[in-house]
Amino acid sequence: MSTPGTIVGMSGGVDSSVAALLLQRKGEDIAGMFMDNWADDGSGQCRSADDRRDAVAVCGRLGIPLHFRDFSREYWNGVFEHFIAEYAAGRTPNPDVLCNREIKFRHFLDAARALGAGAIATGHYARVERDGASWRLLRAVDRDKDQSYFLHLLGQEQLAATRFPLGGLRKEQVRALAAEAGLPTAAKKDSTGICFIGERDFREFLSQYIPARSGEIRDPQGRVLGEHPGVFHFTLGQRGGLQLGGVRGREQAPWYVVGKDVARNVLFVDQGHDSPWLQSTTLRSEAAHWIGGAAPARRFECSAQVRYRQAGEPCEVEVRDDGTLQVRFARAQRAVTPGQSVVLYSGDTCLGGAVIASTNAPHPHSEVRTAQDQAA
């Protein structure tokens, strides 16, 4: 067997299937690699066996070798333990960001190099471009599918060795190419949500790892409205799952999570999608990662996303002495959530990003005391 020039990460989905197809049509010597990132926990929700079968079928159709690697231990140590610790602390982490850094562009890249390959390729919707002696990460042509937000922790070494064949295509073109080539994944539904949870109830899954402790649901003024099953089940701006019916003296309007006091086990809610308790104009981050190796300047203007599929928002960024960021937005942002990522762009170029630590949104839990505190 000849040494492949590029190893394609085969997930069993249509995107990675077409990524391999396009590289093969260019005459490149390729092979596939299927990664097991989550050990079957007996829930019946793990889709790995189905995805593995589809990856085998696609590689058989293309006539390319397929390698298998089990990264479940690496995923547990590098991604999942962090995920659980963040939820237990009352934050909302993004496991896809860490998975890309720790698994797909670290252990996968190492495994590909061990096979003698000089590059890896994936079905991500993003673009890599050489700029002199350095590499840039760019948004995909299809803005609705652009995944550069999840790739902002990549560095120069990873980008130099990575191919994104789908970066210049739209999703409908990808499916058309798969159907034309007779690939068995052409009509396969895109996977959504967090990979290791599957279709099961998120609250039930999380309760296996973080003991549930019920507590009070309060409005920002401190009035008790109901009871929650555990503050870590909820995130800022969330509407569903509160189980708050009609509240006497209040209009019939949806309630939204506007704050969490983990220490006192209190969940704060307010009515109105755009409640003032959800609005912020400034955020502070943890230490930032810069794709080019360093910040463009100590203070600069750019656009930022604080969640996936958000339009870029104009902002001013100040890089502090400890590497953390202070980001000031031109207009107020809704439900900016600690634990999520703020990702910075200059036009289509992704500059890097950081984990959100705090915002200047009002904090209801700093202004009221719980019934237990008052009784103490």
- List active site positions: 99, 195
Work out the burial of residue 113: count CB atoms within 10 Å of its CB; fewer than 13 is exposed, 13-18 middle, 19 or more buried. Answer: middle
Q: Which of 20, 14, 12 lies closest to 37 in space, CA to CA?
A: 12
Query: Which two three-digit tokens encode residue 133?
Result: 């002696």
Q: Which of 364, 238, 359 lies closest to 304 in space, CA to CA?
A: 359
Instruction: Report helix angle 171-180 to 14-25, nearest 10.
Output: 70
Measure the CA angle with vertex 143, ends 75 and 177; round to 5°. Answer: 80
Query: Which two three-digit tokens encode residue 241?
Result: 């799952």
Rounded Cα distance, 159 and 164, in Å? 10
Query: Which two three-digit tokens encode residue 194?
Result: 């967090």
Left (φ > 0), alpha (ψ -120 to 50) or beta: where does 249 sit?
Answer: left
Query: Which two three-digit tokens encode residue 159?
Result: 């980008």
